[in-house]
Structure 1
């Protein structure tokens, strides 16, 4: 899998195969089972911490056989990897639904929503995008995975701006990509430094203002 955290440069060794999910569910029953596993995984992590978490305990709490869990996740690292990929997919889907397809919004409201979805390190919908995960990220993600996340986010941002039919001037692709780096990179740094709530709120507000003011000034030029 393929987290959105960590260093994207340098020569890191390939991950052990046991740190990777074996497959992704495709049928409705399998999706339901894996989501139950993820929910149990989050509860146990938040209750006991990473060091005390075991795949057997996750299976027991999720109400599935340990063999069923191992069909998808050969280790707890693979489980974390799969979960982070799952949450990234959820984030991308939220951008589709809440930003790109939100045709009732003007461009200003749409872009503010896009920035907030990308930046907010305390979004309750992403419960394990946090400092504890960042400390072990190197165990579950390779540089190619980070690159993939960046490319996926950049694509969603391009689609979001393309959906703003009332925006007089569209930003260039390099500008959009620079904003993605700034937004996602800032979110990750907030996760690392754990600023106070008021500092995080100020940063989110400034990010919205920065992008929106650049768009407004470009429209006036």
Structure 2
């Protein structure tokens, strides 16, 4: 992997190709296999940490051949990259199911669900979105990956607000983007700073209150 701020021509550093998954599963059997690999990966990470994790041990824990794991992940960095993408896809699916498609909710409840699902740093569905992952994030993510996550979250948030048929006035796309930056950036900082549980709870409550208040008092 290249290091520093770029090469002599000023180009940004690029990741080692082995830090990228080779492919994503599409068939049911392959999806089942990769999910088993991810589950084993999480268990070993939580037990032994990043330094104690190897692809061979993950394959053994998942009950798959090491060659099968290498069909998808040429390194443990690639495995982490694939898992983070998998976790973000799961987040987007939860936002769609429990916010966008939840037609029985009034707008304040829907928006509170949207904020909390997006920015809760202690979400049990994403056990590896933690301080240790952020410390090695530079090994698996380029600026384009961060931009993609922001664009996908912003798009899902716009869908959520559009689904609020009882909302008196819709916020602009610029405002929605600003809110996504605020809550997602705050979540990442909570993971980095690791505030006390009561401080995190107060922050989550403030995010909900701030956005709902802005919506309630829009002209």
CA distance in 1, matches of 2:49, 2:129: 14
Q: Is the 8 A contact 1:12 1:142 kept in 2?
A: no
Deviation per residue, 1:158-198 (Å, 9 max, x gap): 00000000001000010000000001000000000000000
1:182 aligned residue: 182
Consecutive unaligned residues in structure 2, runs of 5 or more: 1-9
2:93 aligned residue: 93
Deviation per residue, 1:127-163 (Å, 9 max, x gap): 0000010000000000000000000000000000000
2:5 aligned residue: none
CA distance in 2, matches of 1:83, 1:204: 25
Structure 1 SS opposite 2:217: helix
Deviation per residue, 1:63-100 (Å, 9 max, x gap): 00000000000000000000000000000000000000
CA distance in 2, matches of 1:170, 1:210: 16
CA distance in 2, matches of 1:43, 1:132: 15
CA distance in 2, matches of 1:199, 1:209: 15
2:124 aligned residue: 124
1:28 aligned residue: 28
Give the TM-score, by structure 1 length: 0.94
CA distance in 2, matches of 1:11, 1:79: 26
Structure 2 SS opposite 1:192: helix
Q: Is the 8 A contact 1:99 1:113 kept in 2?
A: yes
Question: Once the 2 structures are TM-superposed, how far is the Cα of residue 13 of structure 1 from its aligned partner?
Answer: 0.8
CA distance in 1, matches of 2:125, 2:112: 18
CA distance in 1, matches of 2:159, 2:123: 22
| Cα RMSD for the two superposed structures | 0.9
2:209 aligned residue: 209
Structure 1 SS opposite 2:136: helix
Give the TM-score, by structure 2 length: 0.95
Return the structure number with greater relative CO, CA threshold 8 A, min gap 6.
1
Question: Once the 2 structures are TM-superposed, how far is the Cα of residue 11 of structure 1 from its aligned partner?
Answer: 6.0
CA distance in 2, matches of 1:161, 1:211: 12
1:4 aligned residue: none
CA distance in 2, matches of 1:11, 1:142: 12
Regions of 4+ moved over 6 Å: none
CA distance in 1, matches of 2:11, 2:213: 39
Question: Once the 2 structures are TM-superposed, how far is the Cα of residue 12 of structure 1 from its aligned partner?
Answer: 3.8
Deviation per residue, 1:99-119 (Å, 9 max, x gap): 000001000000000000111
CA distance in 2, matches of 1:217, 1:165: 17
CA distance in 2, matches of 1:97, 1:59: 32
Q: Is the 8 A contact 1:190 1:200 kept in 2?
A: yes
Query: What is the aligned residue count?
Result: 210
